[in-house]
Amino acid sequence: MVDLSVTLAGVTLKNPVIPASGTFGYGREFAEAYDLDLLGSFSWKGTTAAPREGNPQPRIAETAAGMLNAVGLQNPGLDAVLREEVPNIAKLFHGPVIANVCGFSLEEYAENCRRLEEADQAAILEINISCPNVHAGGKNFGSDPQSAAAVTRAVRGATKKPVFMKLSPNVTDIAEIARACADEGADGLCLINTLLGMRIDLNTRRPLIANRTGGLSGPAVFPVALRMVWDVYEAVDLPIIGCGGVASAEDAAEMMLAGASAVEVGAANLRDPFACKKIIESLPAVCERLGVERIADLTGGAHEGRAKG
């Protein structure tokens, strides 16, 4: 029997499949489709200190091999999440949860992490550094090593929970940013966030998304995400959650061979609510085909002399 369990910075998951933040809400809707306890974990919706309505409509557009979104971090705010969503999550899912933390200043990131100390089920804090820094002209925190390091340092000093920095692919050298996060005490990394893109309506001759640009996700980004996971695995000795276009058990295995210890599934959940369930159910057969009894043995297996068990 194949052992599907994996460990992320001391947190054990029953399998490596994690619905990605922004595609799973706080679990309510998906719990109506299947038993969430099948999952390794899930990353809840990106949460800010104050409630946000998000960007104006339209903010979703289809592409040939994925989708663009500019939702704009719509969420009920941390107070409501701690008061309403966290107790409800405890009823729907009985494993460790990943809390996706967003912020528009170093102080907000740190305070959000400090307040999440009281949420016992939030076992890992996933820090979204693709947020715009309001004190630096709107430049994203993840756009350069210094900014990424500053956020890592701020959150590391605010919580005892493992912190995984979620990296943006819209950079020149993602490995350099990964090293900056590692140097400031990150416990792990999650990559990639969405790639910046846009579409234009031929009839109106205007961008399809009101915000003009949006984040590209889905199968189109998988090769980019895979390459970046490979590069970061070579650069740092931290557990990696691979994210970007994962839509099958084979994709998950490939991402793990590149260096991921677990995978997040994003856009596939929007196309098929049962995507994660199907991936988990297919993983044992893929592992048997690959000749491994422990799925964790796949991590880094494509790197000569660098595989970590």
Using DSSP bridges, classify how beta strands 240-243 and 188-191 pair: parallel, antiparallel or unpaired.
Answer: parallel
**Maximal C-alpha separation, the chain:** 57
Give the pLDDT of residue 131.
78
Q: Are 39 and 280 in contact (CB under 8 A)?
A: yes
For the beta sheet containing 66-69, the strands, ordered from the edge strand earlier in sequence to the opposite edge, are 60-63, 66-69, 214-217, 195-197
Give the pLDDT of residue 137.
63
Q: What are phi and psi of 100, to 5 degrees?
A: -85, 120
Distances (CA, A) of 43 to 97, 164, 285, 292: 6, 11, 26, 27
Contacts with 91 (C-beta within 8 Å, 6 or more apart), sequence order: none
Using DSSP bridges, classify how beta strands 6-8 and 11-13 pair: parallel, antiparallel or unpaired.
Answer: antiparallel
Q: What are phi and psi of 123, to 5 degrees?
A: -85, -25
Stretches where the chain sits below pLDDT 70 are 133-134, 136-138, 305-309
CATH number belonging to the domain at 6-298, selected among 3.30.1330.50, 1.10.645.10, 3.50.50.60, 3.20.20.70? 3.20.20.70
Active site residue 243: no
Give the pLDDT of residue 309.
44
Peptide bond into 19 cis (omega under 30): no
Q: Are 108 and 49 in contact (CB under 8 A)?
A: yes
Q: Does pTM top 0.85 for this prediction? A: yes
Q: What is the pLDDT of residues 47-60, one digit of tens each?
A: 999 999 999 999 99
Peptide bond into 124 cis (omega under 30): no
Domain edges within the chain: 6-298
Catalytic residue among 102, 113, 131, 243: 131
Q: Is 292 left (phi over 0), alpha (psi -120 to 50) or beta?
A: beta
Q: Among residues 226, 189, 206, 212, which one has the least CA distance to residue 303?
A: 226
